[in-house]
Amino acid sequence: MPELIPILNKKEIEKKVHAVAQQISTDYAGCDLLFIGVLKGAFIFLSDLIRQVTIPVKVEFVKVSSYGGNTSSTGHIKLAYKPESDLKNKDVLIVEDIIDTGLTICYLLDYFSSFGPKSVQVCTLIDKRERRDKKIKIRYTCHVVEEGFLVGYGLDYAENYRYLPDIYCLKI
C-alpha cells in the first residue's frame, strides 16, 4: 500500500485560499476578470477560490494532458479541452493546482496570450520548485512545497485521491 504523509490540512488550505481571494478581489476591482481553471487538478481549488472572491468573475476551463499515469511530466502537452468564450480584452487568471517543471503553465501562458487578452496572470495552489526548469512569474501562490508527489484536494495520482480534503505526499 502507498503511504500518505500529511503536508497541508484543510484549515491551512482554507486560510491561504481566503487570503489569495481577498488579494485578487482588490487587484481586479472593476476589471472584466475571467478565471480559467486547469482540469482536472484545479477543480476544487477553483471552486473554493471563486466563492471567496468578492468581485464578479466569469469561469472557463482548459484541459491539458501531459502526465498519464506517471509522476513526472512527459513534456508533450496536449490541449484536450479549450475555453469557449472570447478572451480578447479580458483579464485572464489561469488557476492551476501545481506548478512543477513549469512546462504546462508556460504553454498555457503562450496559448492564451495569442488571443489578445488585456492581461494574463497565474494563480496556483502549490508552487513546487524542486524540478522547475522554466523561469515563470507567478502572481498568486497559496503554498510553496519544496518536493514530493502530492495528492488530495483535487490532486491525483493515476486518478486516485482527488476527493481527500487534505494534501498528502505520496510515497510509492
**Spatial CB neighbours of 116, under 8 Å, sequence gap ≥ 6:** 87, 88, 89
Candidate residues 41, 102, 117, 154; the one interacting with Mg ion per rule CB under 5 A = 41
- Of the pair 31, 106, the CB lying nearest ligand IMP is at 106
Report in angstroms how near the CB of residue 47 gets to Mg ion at its nearest: 15
- 64 vs 34, 38, 39, 78, CA distance in Å? 18, 7, 7, 6
Part in contact with Mg ion (CB under 5 A); list of ranges 8-16, 39-47, 111-119, 129-137: 39-47
Q: Is 100 a catalytic site residue?
A: yes
Residue 147: how many other CB atoms lie within 10 Å: 10
Q: Are 42 and 19 in contact (CB under 8 A)?
A: no
Alpha carbon distance 28, 118 (integer Å): 12
Report in angstroms how near the CB of residue 54 gets to Mg ion at its nearest: 27
- Of the pair 22, 72, the CB lying nearest ligand IMP is at 72
Report in angstroms how near the CB of residue 63 gets to Mg ion at its nearest: 9
Catalytic residue among 91, 97, 100, 127: 100
Alpha carbon distance 129, 144 (integer Å): 8
Question: What's the grid cell of residue 87?
Answer: 478572451
Element (H, E) at 101: none
- Of the pair 88, 159, the CB lying nearest ligand IMP is at 159
Report in angstroms how near the CB of residue 30 gets to Mg ion at its nearest: 30
Q: What angle (nearest 5°) sits at the alpha carbon of residue 46, between those of residues 43 and 50? A: 145
User: Which entry of Mg ion, ligand IMP, none binds 140, CB below 5 to 8 A by partner kind?
Assistant: none
Binding-site ranges for ligand IMP (CB under 6 A): 38, 41, 67, 73, 96-105, 128, 149-150, 155
- Of the pair 91, 156, the CB lying nearest Mg ion is at 156
Would you name the residues annotated as active-site residues?
Answer: 100
- Catalog residues that contact Mg ion under the rule CB under 5 A: 41
